[in-house]
Amino acid sequence: MIKSMTGFGSQEAKVRYLGKVSIEMRSTNHKFLDIVFHLPGGFLSLEDRIKKEIESQTKRGRVVCSINIDQDKSAQVGINKELLKKYIAEFRNIQKEFRIQSEMGLDTLINLPGILSLAQKTLDKESIWPHLKVLVNKAAQDLVRARKKEGKAIYAYLKGQIRTMESGLGVVSSRFKKVIKHRLPQIDSDEERVSFLKNNDITEELDRLTFHAQNFGNKLAGGGAIGKELDFIAQEMQREANTIGAKSCDKVISARVVQIKSQIEKAREQIQNVE
C-alpha cells in the first residue's frame, strides 16, 4: 500500500527522569526526507538518535518533530557549610578581639556571599534516551498510520483514474481503426496514403501509452515508496498523450485525448503527495 507524505502523529506520557513529555510529528510534501526539530534546551545531543528513529519509518516528506517537556522546576538548595564555618570562626575572633556581645542571626548568615545556592537538576542523557526512544517510536508510528490512511484514499483515486484512462484508450484505438478504414480508400495515390499515415498514424503512441498505463497500475498495486517513480511514468504518459493529440485527424479522438490528458494531470497532482 502506498503512503501519503501528509500526516500527523503525537504521543504524551510521563517519562522517568524527565517528567511529562509531549511529542508531535507533522509531515508535508517534499522531494526528499527532510527532518526539522524543535527540541528543549540541552537536547541537541539527542537529535541524531531521534532522526534515525524517524528515518527508519519514513522515506520521503518534510517532518517537523516538536518535543515539549513539563519538567519538575523545583531547585535543590545548597549550603556551603565549609565556607559558613569560616565565616563564623572569623566573626567569633572579631567578637573576642573587639569585645562585641551581639550574636549574628541565621538570616544574616545565609545572606553572606557564597553561602546559599540554588541548583537545577541535571539530566543524564544516556539514562533518558531509552525512555524517550520508546515515545519517539510511538509518535512516528502514529504519523505513519495517518500517512497510510491518506495513502489509501490516494490509491483508490489513482486506480480509478487509470481505469478510466485505459477505457478511453480503448475508445481511441477503436475509433482510429475506423477512421483509417474510412479515409484511406478516399486517397488516390500511394504517396498521399504514405504521407497521411506518417502524419496521422498514432498506433505506436497508443501502444506506448497503454504500456505506461499498465506499468503505472502495476507499480501502484506493488506499493512502497514509489512517488517519484509514479511521477516519472505519468510524465511519459503525458508526453505520449500530447503527441496523439497533435497527430489526431478526427474530432472524436481529439476530444477523448483531451479527457485522457486531464486525467493524467489530475493523477500527477495526487502523485505529488505520494511517498
Q: Is the model's pLDDT at 187 over the cut of 90?
A: no
Distance CA 243, CA 71 (A): 64
Specify the fold of 7-73+126-147: Ribosomal Protein S5; domain 2 (3.30.230)
Note the CATH number of domain 149-271. 1.20.140
Domain ranges, ordered by start, for the chain: 7-73+126-147, 76-119, 149-271
Q: Residue 62: which of 102, 141, 5 has the closest Cα?
A: 5
Distance CA 164, CA 167 (A): 5
Please name the residues in contact with 33: beta carbons below 8 A apart, sequence gap of 6 or more.
Answer: 55, 58, 59, 60, 61, 63
Position 229 scores a pLDDT of 96
Greater confidence (176 vs 117) lies with: 176
Position 74 scores a pLDDT of 53
Q: Is the model's pLDDT at 121 over the cut of 70?
A: no
Greater confidence (191 vs 210) lies with: 210
Q: Is the model's pLDDT at 144 over the cut of 70?
A: yes
Cell numbers that stand for 260 in this block: 485522457
Position 102 scores a pLDDT of 79
- The share of the chain scoring above pLDDT 90, in percent, equals 64
Cell match 518534510: residue? 62
Tens of pLDDT along 196-240? 888 889 999 999 999 999 999 999 999 999 999 999 999 999 999
The overall average pLDDT reported for the chain is 90
SS3 string of 211-272?
HHHHHHHHHHHHCCCCHHHHHHHHHHHHHHHHHHHHHCCCHHHHHHHHHHHHHHHHHHHHHC
Tens of pLDDT along 64-82? 999 998 876 555 667 888 9
**Which residues, in sequence order, are bridge partners of residue 27?**
7, 63
Position 120 scores a pLDDT of 53
Q: If you average pLDDT over residues 25-41, what whole number do you get? A: 94
Position 111 scores a pLDDT of 84
